[in-house]
């Protein structure tokens, strides 16, 4: 097996375990657009810039929106740029592009199409088992090895690598919703 494939599989496994080990609360709240921390506006996509001719999301615009939220504090039950939990973060980012995601991680894990680890692309949802054996944490892929997420009560929205042992061992799957 090529080293890159082995590394990706390992990263996904780590990511899955990490997701279950960290908490990701859900309140059922709906995300709303708010200014980003520090008063800078969160990029609001223009309709023509966010969809392709087939009506799918521009995954690079979506990831740019997610990246613009780096540094936003974790907030249990958070669904806006004042603070996010993991599923509130993904729900908010996808909501900016007209995609309604369920509020809870376990429900987001049922949305879209399954993606093989070697085929993960920008904009895919990545799921991790951080406590237990089922998806309890979610992030958004930036590329085949990087993802952005709202990690825990001690963190901020940030970029991580799937190839890090913690995330690799906790990875449980990826879904494509666009």
Whole-prediction pTM: 0.73
**Residue 60 lies inside a defined structural domain of this protein:** yes
Of 93, 105, 115, the C-alpha closest to 20 is 105
In a domain, 31, yes or no: no
Containing domain of residue 93, as a range? Answer: 3-26+45-176
In a domain, 35, yes or no: no
* pLDDT digits (tens), the chain, 178 positions: 455 555 545 544 444 333 333 445 443 433 333 333 444 444 444 333 333 334 578 998 999 999 999 999 999 999 999 999 999 999 999 999 999 999 999 999 999 999 999 999 999 999 999 998 999 999 999 998 999 999 987 899 999 999 999 999 999 999 999 7
Give me the pLDDT at residue 2, please: 55
Alpha-carbon distance 168 to 90, whole Å?
20
Q: Is 134 a catalytic residue?
A: no
Give the N- to C-terminal CA distance of the chain in Å, as an integer: 30
Going by the DSSP 8-state scheme, the letter that residue 111 receives in this structure is S
| Number of domains present in the structure of the chain | 1
C-alpha span between 123 and 63 (Å, rounded): 6
Residue 24 known to be catalytic: no
Q: Contact 168/11 with Cβ under 8 angstroms? A: yes
pLDDT digits over 114-134, tens only? 999 999 999 999 999 999 899
User: Is residue 32, in this structure, part of any structural domain at all?
Assistant: no
Domain of residue 84, CATH code = 3.90.1720.10
Q: Is residue 38 part of a domain?
A: no
Q: Match 């920008």 to its residue by tokens.
A: 122
Question: Is residue 149 flagged as an active site residue?
Answer: yes
Of 24, 134, 149, 169, which residue is the catalytic one? 149
Of 24, 86, 134, 169, catalytic: 86
CA distances from residue 19 to 33, 128, 163, 178 in whole angstroms, order as listed: 26, 4, 14, 22
Distances (CA, A) of 76 to 73, 80, 86, 169: 10, 11, 9, 24
């Amino acid at each position: 097996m090529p080293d890159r494939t082995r590394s990706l599989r390992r990263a996904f496994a780590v990511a899955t375990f990490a997701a279950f080990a960290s908490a990701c609360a859900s309140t059922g709240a709906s995300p709303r657009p708010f200014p980003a921390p520090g008063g800078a506006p969160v990029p609001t996509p223009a309709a023509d810039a966010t969809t392709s001719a087939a009506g799918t999301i521009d995954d690079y615009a979506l990831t740019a929106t997610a990246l613009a939220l780096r540094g936003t504090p974790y907030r249990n039950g958070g669904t806006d740029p004042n603070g996010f939990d993991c599923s509130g973060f993904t729900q908010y980012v996808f909501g900016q592009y007209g995609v309604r995601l369920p509020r809870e991680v376990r429900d987001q894990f049922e949305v879209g199409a399954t993606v093989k680890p070697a085929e993960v692309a920008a904009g895919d949802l990545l799921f991790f088992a951080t406590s237990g054996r089922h998806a309890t944490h979610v992030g958004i892929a930036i590329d085949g090895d990087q993802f952005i997420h709202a990690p825990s009560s001690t963190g901020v929205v940030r970029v991580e690598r799937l190839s890090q042992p913690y995330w690799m061992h906790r990875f449980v799957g990826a879904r494509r919703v666009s």
